[in-house]
Each structure stands twice: as structure tokens, then as C-alpha cells.
């Protein structure tokens, strides 16, 4: 299976392929170079989200990563990030455990009765807050969306490592004694 097609600038920088100037020019002409002249936040973002969008977009444009085609993807990242923060605050405001009152069950799995009064015995137990557990699941999904979006845009360490083009290999200096080995002794 063939690997991903890389931009010609990256291929040249790696120095692993020997391409002619004509081949390089042809590949450059075939590559898409979307513009970054109309990067704007979508209307469906709120004011705070639009501000965050503009902050990230400015940095990504400076790095020549962001184009007009990436606006919706960045907006989804900003929205997921905003929702993640909101859910995290809601979770922090909820107790982890809640008291649940229930009937004490006997060996036959029926509610036990107080022998003196004949009333069913009620006990209080601390249990995991189910509302908090459900929100934690949503928080985890949003975290995964944020992490994937951040990686795609190079906003994480792993993402930046993938996006950074390797430097062109420096040519080794010519060995000054090589001319003697080839019989090219100059007088």
C-alpha cells in the first residue's frame, strides 16, 4: 500500500527523492493551494466562541496551516472546547455521591419490617450520582473531539510534530583528499 501523498516542498526538504526541476514544477502546479484571505468565524458561534476562533485562526494563518476551507473545522473545535468547559463546570458543582433512601431487603429480597411497629425498614446509602456520571460520559466525548481537532490543527505536541517539515539535508563538504585518489593531481 502506498503512503500518503506529501506536498512537493516536504518531499524536496526530505531529500529522499531525486526529482528534476521540471518534475518539481509539475507537482507544484498540480497541488492545491487554498487561499487564507476570507477566514471568518461562522455565524452560529456565540461572541465568546468567535473571539477564541479569531485567536486560533490568527496563529494558524501565521504558520500557514489555516485556509478558508478550514473555518468550519476550527469552529467545531472551538464549539467542542466551549461545551467541554461548560460541562466541566457543571460536573464540578455536583456531588460525586448522593444519599439514596431505600428499603432494607431480607434474604428473600423482600423489604424487611420492624418487628415492633410493623413498618418497613428504610436505610440511607451513599451511591454514585447518576446525573454526574452521565455528564462525565459527555465530557469524555467532548474531550476526544477537542483532542482530535487540536491534533489536526497542530495545537498539540504530537500534532506539531506531524506538521513540521524536516529541514533539508546539508550537503557534506567535499573531501579535499578525494582529488588525489582520482588521479587529479594539480601542479
Half-sphere exposure of 57 (CA within 13 A, CB side): 24
User: Do 43 and 70 lie in a common domain?
Assistant: yes
Residue 180 lies in a domain: no
In tens, the pLDDT along 173-186 reads 777 777 777 655 55
Residue 121 lies in a domain: yes
Q: Helices 71-92 and 130-152, interaxial angle, to 10°?
A: 150
Shared domain check, 86 and 52 = yes
Same-domain status, 124 and 134: no
The whole domain housing 157 covers 34-94+130-169
Q: Could you tell me if 40 and 121 lie in one domain?
A: no
What pLDDT sits at residue 162?
72
> Among 96-100, 153-157, 171-175, which range has the highest average pLDDT?
96-100
pTM: 0.67
Express each pLDDT in 60-71 by its tens digit: 888 888 889 999
187 pLDDT band (50/70/90 cuts)? very low
More confident residue, 138 or 173: 138
**Residue 139 and residue 75 in one domain:** yes
Q: Are residues 102 and 90 in the same domain?
A: no
Q: Within this chain, do residues 46 and 79 fall inside the same structural domain, yes or no?
A: yes
Quick one: 108 and 146 in the same domain? no
Question: Is 177 within the bounds of a domain?
Answer: no
**How confident is the prediction for the chain on average, in pLDDT?**
84
Provide the domain count of the chain: 2
144-149: list long-range contacts, CB under 8 Å, 24+ apart. Answer: 145/76, 145/77, 145/80, 145/84, 146/77, 146/80, 146/81, 146/84, 149/73, 149/74, 149/76, 149/77, 149/80
- In-domain check, residue 183: no
Q: Which residue has the higher pLDDT, 139 or 11?
A: 139
Which burial class, exposed, middle or buried, applies to 41 when counting CB atoms under 10 A from its CB (0-12, 13-18, 19+)?
A: buried
**Has residue 142 been placed in a domain?**
yes
Q: What's residue 128's pLDDT?
A: 92
| Model pLDDT, residue 92 | 96
70 and 101 belong to one structural domain: no
Q: What is the mean pLDDT of residues 21-42?
A: 82
Q: How many angstroms separate the CA atoms of 173 and 74, rounded?
A: 45
Same domain, 49 and 63: yes
In a domain, 179, yes or no: no
Distance CA 124, CA 100 (A): 6
Both 164 and 143 in one domain: the answer is: yes
What's phi and psi for 97, nearest 5 deg? -115, 145
Looking at the structure, do residues 119 and 153 belong to the same domain, yes or no? Answer: no
| Residue 15 resides in a domain | no
Task: Give the contacts of 160 (CB within 8 A, at least 6 positions apart).
Answer: 154
Looking at the DSSP bridge assignments, the partners of residue 120 are 113
Cell digits for 65?
Answer: 496551516
Q: How far apart are CA 59 and CA 39, in angstroms?
A: 12
Amino acid at each position: 500500500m502506498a503512503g500518503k501523498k506529501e506536498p512537493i516542498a516536504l518531499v524536496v526538504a526530505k531529500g529522499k527523492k531525486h526529482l528534476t526541476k521540471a518534475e518539481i514544477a509539475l507537482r507544484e502546479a498540480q497541488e492545491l493551494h487554498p487561499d487564507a484571505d476570507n477566514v471568518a468565524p461562522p455565524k452560529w458561534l456565540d461572541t465568546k466562541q468567535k473571539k477564541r476562533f479569531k485567536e486560533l485562526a490568527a496563529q494558524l494563518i501565521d504558520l500557514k496551516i489555516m485556509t478558508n476551507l478550514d473555518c468550519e473545522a476550527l469552529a467545531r473545535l472551538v464549539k467542542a472546547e466551549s461545551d467541554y468547559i461548560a460541562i466541566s463546570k457543571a460536573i464540578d458543582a455536583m456531588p460525586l455521591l448522593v444519599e439514596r433512601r431505600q428499603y432494607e431487603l431480607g434474604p428473600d429480597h423482600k423489604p424487611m419490617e420492624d418487628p415492633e411497629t410493623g413498618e418497613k425498614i428504610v436505610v440511607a446509602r451513599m451511591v454514585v450520582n447518576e446525573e454526574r456520571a452521565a455528564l462525565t460520559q459527555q465530557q469524555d466525548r467532548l474531550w476526544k473531539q477537542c483532542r482530535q481537532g487540536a491534533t489536526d490543527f497542530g495545537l498539540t505536541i504530537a500534532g506539531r510534530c506531524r506538521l513540521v517539515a524536516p529541514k533539508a539535508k546539508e550537503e557534506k563538504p567535499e573531501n579535499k583528499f578525494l582529488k588525489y585518489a582520482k588521479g587529479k593531481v594539480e601542479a
